[in-house]
Structure 1
């Protein structure tokens, strides 16, 4: 930027995207050349034309062509990235960079919204405190709830409001600027809160550094008739309130979040819920009344790897029970069994060879198997996976899965292949 120039106002540039001229430039940005310089040239020319043709119209944007072009190009690229989380909805939505980073994947937001709607009933009033670009509020409104979405950032509020309008949900979703900590949670049937876990320096792992802080969020949740709080999947168990039901949620095996429920007849204190992108029904595993530890034993014919949601929820023993399994080591989440049983909570592997870890022995085993494609999994092992793959130098037409773990202080290596049990 040259001396004397002022930085473009992002709110003005975003407001311009909502006009007919902005829509035209945004449409051009969707098909702009991949090369940034070429894209900028094409879009600036289109912006100049669109702004000139809209001059004098009500709501005509008062922005420079370069600013409108930049905003459109940024938005188009954010939409392309957002398809992973939002599917086809992304094509009609608007985003900010930090808003997209923290936004809930829609399959998770939809699942939570259905739980809220089932417990509260259609038309219940829900406050979304710290709504971001609106993914959770959108899901709640789509489920039939009346949502008031609050965020402290003016640009984010404008983006969330535009998303509600573009998705046809503005009749059930009101967005306003405000401080979440100052909202009276007793004025709603339930509150939802997703505290910000990112700063300019990156992801925040300490709950006390969330915004609002963890204590503030927990106070809001406790004063509401019912609540759901979204927390990081790695939140320490000791930071979970005694009265909350904690639910670890994964999508296709990728652990996404911990949802803390209060006041909804929440059931077990710990549960793991697995969502699938293929549209299959959610699978939930809950802590039982006994909750004793799983037995331990040596490697058997099959090895089960529990989903990360199961592991974080401390439900490995519950996952072992239906497969008649036992743990190789009481502190490590690998289950072994003589039976192959279909279970949504674990991936299954057939064990072809079990041995104390040795590079020489493992290389010989893979050579005998003709394994040129090797996947290495580890829990409780300090082995450098990348270095091990280089040292193994696998070759051949077959594939194998190598599991590195330990029993006590003894390193253990299992050579396996993934299998699928019939339901």
Structure 2
């Protein structure tokens, strides 16, 4: 999208087109586009359709706000999900932050959440189009008085006078994802320095960041939304006693710890599958402590216990059988149970669930969960049923 086309959408004619396209269906696009081109410039109609499609895609992240917001293709993909942005904004507000510099602000998803939490935001990005979109979003949601958008290189922004800095470096190029943190734009080392120049700081990093790269004095937080890990953030100045945190949304469940190892032992009556944020944060042992359990293998993120203990940080399964892995034996057990639907979970084993399901050829009225895992005593198969994660 060119910036001239985007600015045309903000005119009265562009707004009328967007209103007409609200809720349009793909099946109606050709006829609708043909009709609209009779009375509007073709380029404006094309831009309006692109924006309407982006709004529909963005609804998964922004909910009802997406209908009023503006997007770029990269903006939809890379913007922070609303629930995650609101969680982070709440943390900043609870720390007493009232003025924050949002560096690499993108289309303004985080700036919007921060402004709604009572924080005044300077939103900075070097893309003229992205800044125009961020400014339009602030105005569309009635937050223009709390969000100042500045088109600039983040390296030229003086953080003096701000309570906090939040940086979301670009982790993609035209070639795809960037895995070297020093190849981020701006580099991780620069973003860490920026975060330390104000009382509080935070910067977004890839969820797969190794613990060894977490700087001294920083708190690393992994956030999941409805069981899917969305991001990792390095926090500075929070005074956290523990260096690692896992936060599960919705519900704002947050677990902290040091990631100390847990003991391993035999499979008990219940198996717990920790949330992905817990695993990334290295807090599986903390969940084991909560459920008075143990690991089934020192290097595998499955916890077992003889008790069913309520925890929001793991899904629990009641285990009926735990046997050495054998496809022929597994097939017989599933036949005995009348299993037609087989949910296969695995850790540490080179097994493709789809291929295994074809070998098992399940048929019957019941559903069974099969959990496969590597252990010190060889590969293991466990058959059970989910009992739900208490909240």
Same fold per superposition (TM over 0.5):
yes
Could you tell me how far 1:39 is from its partner in structure 2? 2.0
Contact residue 233 and residue 256 of structure 1 kept, 8 A: yes
2:339 match: 371
Could you tell me how far 1:42 is from its partner in structure 2? 2.4
Choose which of 270, 279, 298 in structure 2 pairs with 1:311. 279
Residue 265 of structure 2 aligns to a residue whose secondary structure is coil
1:11 match: 3
2:304 match: 336
CA distance in structure 1 between the aligned counterparts of 2:370 and 2:58, rounded to whole angstroms: 34
1:354 match: 322
1:76 match: 52
2:223 match: 249
Give 5+ residue unaligned stretches, structure 2: none
Could you tell me how far 1:47 is from its partner in structure 2? 4.8
Change (3 A) 1:87 1:244: same
Give 1:55-134 correspondences, 5 Å limit. 65-121=41-97, 124-134=98-108
Could you tell me how far 1:259 is from its partner in structure 2? 1.3
Could you tell me how far 1:265 is from its partner in structure 2? 2.9
Contact residue 300 and residue 336 of structure 1 kept, 8 A: yes
Change (3 A) 1:172 1:48: farther
Residue 169 of structure 2 aligns to a residue whose secondary structure is coil
Is 2:227 aligned against 1:259? no
Give 1:189-208 correspondences, 5 Å limit. 189-208=163-182
1:230 match: 204
Could you tell me how far 1:386 is from its partner in structure 2? 1.4
Is 2:6 aligned against 1:46? no
Change (3 A) 1:292 1:197: closer
Is 2:115 aligned against 1:145? no
TM-score where L is the length of structure 2: 0.96
2:13 match: 21
Across the two proteins, how many residue pairs are aligned to each other? 391
Contact residue 85 and residue 113 of structure 2 kept, 8 A: yes
Residue 223 of structure 2 aligns to a residue whose secondary structure is strand
TM-score where L is the length of structure 1: 0.89
2:382 match: 414
Contact residue 185 and residue 221 of structure 1 kept, 8 A: no
CA distance in structure 2 between the aligned counterparts of 1:193 and 1:385, rounded to whole angstroms: 39
1:57 match: none
Deviations 1:247-281 (A, max 9, x none): 111111101111111113334211111112xxxx3
Residue 343 of structure 1 aligns to a residue whose secondary structure is coil
Give 1:371-390 correspondences, 5 Å limit. 371-390=339-358
Taking only aligned residues, the RMSD between alpha carbons, in angstroms, comes to: 1.6
Deviations 1:167-206 (A, max 9, x none): 0000000111000122122331111011111222323222
CA distance in structure 2 between the aligned counterparts of 1:344 and 1:33, rounded to whole angstroms: 39
1:155 match: 129
Give 5+ residue unaligned stretches, structure 1: 1-8, 52-64
Residue 271 of structure 2 aligns to a residue whose secondary structure is strand
Contact residue 112 and residue 143 of structure 2 kept, 8 A: yes
